[in-house]
Amino acid sequence: MLKITNFLLLFTFIVCSGFTWEASRDYVIHAPEMAPDTSYLRLETRIAEGDNDVEENGLTGDIYFNSTDLELCHDRGSTGNQAIGLRFTTIWLPPGAEITKAYIQFTADESVNIPGTLTISGEDSADSEPFQAQPYDVSARPRTYASVEWTPTGWLADETTALQRTEDISEIVQEIVNKSDFDGMGFAMTFIIEGEGKHIAKAYELNPETAPLLYVEYDF
């Protein structure tokens, strides 16, 4: 009975997430008798609007919503080392999912490579709220216990390669999925990036098709 329930729940999430699922006639007939192979399950979602990729001034805490690029993380003397907020919306993940791989993919806006280490953490929320125009709204948000360090190198303008991809952040995503109030039904997940150095990524305002992308693989 448990396997049947898991199968039906998995099917619901696949349909709601827009996945394409191909199965043989024989597999469909016998699916209730076995746990489905879910090793290929994944989602990809980009920043969906300009207010969801923001920069927080490192000196004043002011939030910038309309920049066409994202400096990771030093901008200029008047901003210092910024905090970057990335809020991905309308995510569908089944409660109890095991996150096996996750990262954020950027597209380089400029060929700038000033060395520095960045720290990525998640907002400790099962469904994060939109960013607000109030000082320190990014850095003041509650954080996940899990965090990941990333030292990007070798960025060239307009490239979208492994060099513009974060380290694996599956532990951060898993911590959010494991929250007791997580229901996985079209929720929002926020990541916060802080640190030193300078690499410049394209923001939603420049081109929605090259906005930051969240990639997740999971088993269920």
Residues 177 and 85 in one domain: yes
Q: Which residue has the higher pLDDT, 10 or 42?
A: 42
Residues 93 and 182 in one domain: yes
Residues 101 and 116 in one domain: yes
Q: 164-188: per-residue pLDDT in tens?
A: 999 999 999 999 999 999 999 999 9
pLDDT band at 13 (very low <50, low <70, confident <90, very high): low
Residues 19 and 49 in one domain: no
Share of the chain above pLDDT 70, in %: 82
Domain enclosing residue 28, as ranges? 1-37
* Number of structural domains in the chain: 2
Residues 135 and 59 in one domain: yes
Residues 89 and 129 in one domain: yes
Residues 85 and 12 in one domain: no
Round the average pLDDT of the chain to a whole number and report it: 86
Residues 31 and 104 in one domain: no
d(CA 7, CA 1): 10
